[in-house]
Amino acid sequence: MDIILASKSPRRREILENTKVRFSIKESQIDETIKLNESPKDTVKRLAYEKALDVAKNNEDALVIGADTVVVIDDKILGKPKDETEAYNMIKLLSGKTHYVITGFALINLSLNKKIVDCQISQVTFKELSEATIKDYIQTKESLDKAGAYGIQGYGGLLVKNIQGDYFNIVGLPISKISDCLKDHFDINLFYGG
């Protein structure tokens, strides 16, 4: 069975490349709007499902993996910042506090009529950050394409005091939980590639 990752994220691609599975990448074209009065968990699960379904419609025999990640603090979703000012404000908001990273994922094979949707939650605590540290981080330009304006696998790791939960979930793909779902529902073993 062909496997398709419905994501343009280089981080998700790298995580999946660390397994034995062969896959291709096809980016979904959905509108990633966050709806009012929708919980963060429901948001990421819906967006992951919509991304996977968008690609699956043209690849009915393939197993399509979709994912969406958000950073949540005080029940507020922090998506990708629009510019450096918004990135600065997000990092300042996270400074010295604990927040949650939630990644929703969807595994869809339309020909088998299988649709698995779930999510993973990890907790991240930032150090107290000085103005200079925040500005230094923003200058790396790393924050602009990432939920919550930071990437833990890059310079953003320098901002983190500690984490609880799945590290790869924070990067953007909870590979351990996805591996279990692939094995249980599709008989795919990421240790062997099929």
Q: What is the pLDDT of residues 115-169, one digit of tens each?
A: 999 999 999 999 999 999 999 999 999 999 898 999 999 999 999 999 999 999 9
The angle at the Cα of 9, spanning 104 to 53, to the nearest 5 degrees, equals: 50
| Nearest CA among 35, 142, 140, 21 for reference residue 80 | 142
Question: Is 192 inside a domain boundary?
Answer: no
Question: Is 37 inside a domain boundary?
Answer: yes
Tell me, what amino acid is at 147?
A
**Does position 7 have pLDDT exceeding 80, yes or no?**
yes
Question: Is 78 inside a domain boundary?
Answer: yes
Number of domains the chain contains: 1
Active site residue 31: no
Query: Whole domain around residue 74: which residue ranges?
Result: 3-186
Selecting among 68, 75, 83, 187, the annotated active-site residue is 68
